[in-house]
Structure 1
Amino acid sequence: MTWVLLRGLTREARHWGALPEQLAALPGTGQVVTLDLPGNGVFHRQASPASVRGIMEFARRQLQAQGVAPPWKLLAMSLGGMVATDWAQQHPQEVSRLVLINTSMRPFNPLTQRLRPTCWPQLLRIAAQWKNAAGVEHCIHRLTCANTDALQTDVALWEHIRRSAPVSSANALCQLLAAARFQALPFAPACPVLVLSSRADQLVDPACSATLAAAWGAHHGQHPWAGHDLCHDDPLWTHQTMADWLFPGAPAATPAVRA
């Protein structure tokens, strides 16, 4: 069965790092598709809809155009998690599993938890220097990552991604508006749901994931030290937590250790 991966605000398939390859090794995985949202990655010249519903339907059409048959397992983070939630609620027959990472949505949490006020000045600095690739990517790394072991390599790669597929400021604003306005249906998706969060997330309060998981009766795993970009900070933990959820009782991989 196919895994479909959806990234967040202004990010794309190349930002997933090692996780897609690790997911491909999970039993029963037929294919791993890293699908870019409109305005990002291979679709960076497309206008990004200012609604999660519009983004979701664009992504759904692109997946159908690739000839990948449902049902799909969706793994998504941040804005991508909102898109995946809307997908699972509007087209339940197409989604068999849902993994949401550091996402948030109305009606479950207020704005001050969905976007922490302490990060607003940093977001304004990012917006003010949007065309400065190095400056923006350093700011994004500082805001979203707790693992700085490969800081210079990370930023160099992210600068290359930004220059090769630049996300326009207009598309970034549309995606931010879509995230701010999205409101999920109050009932849980029909498929099993795993919610993952990071205790050191500077962007989204991890209380958002806890509230969502409690409202839906979903399993919730929280990483003890990672930042918002959990898949960057500790892809092994992410992979193993998903494997434990999918295949309870199976032998565990050796977890990453960090002081």
Structure 2
Amino acid sequence: MPNPRRWILLRGLARGRGHWGSFVQKMQAHFPNDEFELIDLKGNGERFTEQSPLHVEDYVRDLRAHSQFVKDGKPFNILAVSLGAMITVEWMREYPHEVQKAILVCTSSSGFSPFYDRYRLRNYLPTLRLAIETSAEKWERDILEMVTNSHERREAEIGAMIEYSKRNPMKVTNILRQLAAASRYRFPKDAPGDIKIIGSHGDRLVSPRCSLKIAEGWGLKAVMHPWAGHDIPVDDPQWLIEHLL
């Protein structure tokens, strides 16, 4: 029996631990001996009353303070999406002894890609509308329409996500603060550790070129999903699980 691994799972912009959907249960079933921590970014999910930091470095400090793995001095892997992946890169840069391996899903960096690839222009107006949306149902339907491509998977997950967002509503100011943190963060020139880059050719929120450019800059080969949207864990959870290691 292989030694159990420890995993921290991090979501991205305006998404909390409840937005993994059924992915977490599927991952736990696939790795039954592993340990998992799902930590919300400050301002997201169950931490929606807190103020999101303006700098990626401050997310790292906050998440480390909330991780039992860190407190126990146990190294771990991180699976992170989008903004969560940016935070993971900084975590590895500052504390390389803590993170054994990182899987970065559909992320980007200003050092590798222009702003219009990092957040596709057609998404700016829908995002502004979302920022003032008060209906949890409309909020979730609009977001999932932007970040997923499978109607079947979207409908399977949306009910639970609507209820989650009703309990944990996002604040407009936190969305803007997270966007500011993401826009100004630049990845280091070289990969800060053992990293796998995963992207999708079907990503309509962030250009697939972003994952490819990061991988090229770091001398890695990106693993690209053929059709999923930005939220691969929702669109095709089994595929992602099979490509984690």
Change (3 A) 1:232 1:107: same
TM-score, reference length from structure 1: 0.87
Equivalent in 182, 187, 190 of residue 184 of structure 1: 187
- Report the Cα offset of residue 66 of structure 1: 7.6
Aligned residue identity for 1:158: M
- Deviations 1:111-150 (CA, angstroms, capped at 9, x unpaired): 0110011211211221232x22222211101100101114
Could you say which residue in structure 2 is the equivalent of 1:215? 217
- Deviations 1:181-227 (CA, angstroms, capped at 9, x unpaired): 1112212112x211111111111001000010111122311111100
Q: Does 1:9 align with 2:27?
A: no
Aligned residue identity for 2:53: P
How many Å separate the matches in 1 of 2:118 and 2:20?
Answer: 22
Equivalent in 57, 60, 66 of residue 62 of structure 1: 66
Could you say which residue in structure 1 is the equivalent of 2:114? 110
Gaps of 5+ in 1: 247-259
Q: Does 1:201 align with 2:203?
A: yes
Aligned residue identity for 1:232: V
Equivalent in 49, 55, 66 of residue 45 of structure 1: 49
Could you say which residue in structure 1 is the equivalent of 2:97? 93
Report the number of matched residues. 241
Shifted more, 43-52 versus 75-84: the winner is: 43-52
Does structure 2 conserve the Cα–Cα contact (< 8 Å) formed by 1:70 and 1:95?
A: no
- Deviations 1:28-62 (CA, angstroms, capped at 9, x unpaired): 95301111110112222211111111111101111
How many Å separate the matches in 2 of 1:161 and 1:84?
Answer: 25
Could you say which residue in structure 2 is the equivalent of 1:253? none
How many Å separate the matches in 2 of 1:23 and 1:199?
Answer: 23
Q: Secondary structure at the match of 2:160?
A: helix
Q: Does 1:18 align with 2:26?
A: no
Could you say which residue in structure 1 is the equivalent of 2:140? 137
Does structure 1 conserve the Cα–Cα contact (< 8 Å) formed by 2:140 and 2:158?
A: yes
How many Å separate the matches in 1 of 2:56 and 2:126?
Answer: 24
Q: Does 1:36 align with 2:36?
A: no
Change (3 A) 1:174 1:143: same
Counting aligned pairs with the same residue, the percent is 32
Could you say which residue in structure 2 is the equivalent of 1:239? 241
Change (3 A) 1:69 1:120: same
TM-align CA RMSD: 1.8
Q: Does 1:169 align with 2:172?
A: yes
Change (3 A) 1:29 1:83: farther
